[in-house]
Protein backbone atom coordinates (compact mmCIF):
# COMPACT_ATOMS: atom_id res chain seq x y z
CA UNK A 1 0.00 0.00 0.00
CA UNK A 2 2.88 2.38 0.76
CA UNK A 3 4.13 1.97 -2.81
CA UNK A 4 0.67 2.56 -4.24
CA UNK A 5 0.43 5.83 -2.31
CA UNK A 6 3.94 6.99 -3.17
CA UNK A 7 4.34 10.69 -3.83
CA UNK A 8 1.25 11.68 -1.85
CA UNK A 9 2.86 12.27 1.54
CA UNK A 10 0.90 9.41 3.11
CA UNK A 11 2.60 6.84 5.33
CA UNK A 12 1.27 3.31 5.70
CA UNK A 13 2.23 1.32 8.79
CA UNK A 14 0.77 -1.33 11.07
CA UNK A 15 1.02 -1.90 14.81
CA UNK A 16 1.30 -5.48 16.05
CA UNK A 17 0.53 -5.42 19.78
CA UNK A 18 1.54 -8.17 22.13
CA UNK A 19 -0.51 -9.33 25.11
CA UNK A 20 -2.41 -6.27 26.29
CA UNK A 21 -4.48 -6.00 29.45
CA UNK A 22 -7.87 -5.31 27.90
CA UNK A 23 -11.22 -6.77 28.91
CA UNK A 24 -11.22 -8.90 25.76
CA UNK A 25 -7.75 -10.31 26.47
CA UNK A 26 -8.36 -10.93 30.18
CA UNK A 27 -11.83 -12.45 29.79
CA UNK A 28 -11.87 -16.15 30.62
CA UNK A 29 -8.29 -16.31 31.92
CA UNK A 30 -7.41 -17.23 35.47
CA UNK A 31 -5.15 -15.05 37.59
CA UNK A 32 -2.48 -17.73 37.22
CA UNK A 33 -2.71 -17.64 33.42
CA UNK A 34 -2.48 -13.87 33.42
CA UNK A 35 0.58 -13.98 35.70
CA UNK A 36 2.26 -16.51 33.39
CA UNK A 37 1.51 -14.45 30.29
CA UNK A 38 2.81 -11.34 32.04
CA UNK A 39 6.20 -13.00 32.54
CA UNK A 40 6.71 -14.00 28.88
CA UNK A 41 7.97 -10.62 27.66
CA UNK A 42 11.34 -9.33 28.89
CA UNK A 43 9.53 -6.36 30.46
CA UNK A 44 7.56 -8.89 32.55
CA UNK A 45 4.19 -7.23 32.31
CA UNK A 46 1.19 -7.05 30.05
CA UNK A 47 0.95 -4.05 27.81
CA UNK A 48 -1.66 -1.45 28.58
CA UNK A 49 -4.04 0.12 26.07
CA UNK A 50 -2.09 3.35 26.66
CA UNK A 51 1.14 1.62 25.60
CA UNK A 52 -0.41 0.75 22.26
CA UNK A 53 -2.07 4.15 21.88
CA UNK A 54 1.30 5.84 22.41
CA UNK A 55 2.82 3.84 19.55
CA UNK A 56 -0.08 4.74 17.27
CA UNK A 57 0.21 8.38 18.32
CA UNK A 58 3.92 8.35 17.45
CA UNK A 59 3.26 6.90 14.00
CA UNK A 60 0.42 9.35 13.31
CA UNK A 61 2.32 12.36 14.65
CA UNK A 62 5.14 14.46 13.23
CA UNK A 63 7.88 12.34 14.81
CA UNK A 64 6.74 9.28 12.86
CA UNK A 65 6.72 11.03 9.49
CA UNK A 66 9.78 9.17 8.19
CA UNK A 67 8.50 5.73 9.20
CA UNK A 68 6.75 4.09 6.27
CA UNK A 69 5.81 0.57 5.14
CA UNK A 70 6.61 -0.95 8.54
CA UNK A 71 5.01 -3.29 11.02
CA UNK A 72 5.88 -1.98 14.45
CA UNK A 73 5.76 -4.61 17.18
CA UNK A 74 4.58 -3.07 20.44
CA UNK A 75 4.97 -6.12 22.61
CA UNK A 76 7.50 -5.49 25.36
CA UNK A 77 9.97 -7.78 23.61
CA UNK A 78 7.55 -10.73 23.48
CA UNK A 79 8.81 -13.09 20.79
* pLDDT single digits (tens) 30-39: 999 999 999 9
User: If you count them, how many residues does the chain have?
Assistant: 79
- Kindly report the CA angle at 58 between 9 and 40, in degrees rounded to 5? 130
Report whether 78 contacts 18 (CB < 8 A).
yes
Helix (H, G, I), strand (E, B) or coil at 71: strand
Span 14-70, pLDDT tens digits: 999 999 999 999 999 999 999 999 999 999 999 999 999 999 999 999 999 999 999
What distance in Å separates the CA atoms of residue 57 and residue 44, rounded to the nearest whole number? Answer: 24
Task: Supply the pTM of this predicted model.
Answer: 0.89
Domain spans of the chain?
A: 13-74
Amino acid sequence: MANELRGRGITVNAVAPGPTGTDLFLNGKTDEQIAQLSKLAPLERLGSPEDIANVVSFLAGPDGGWVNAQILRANGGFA
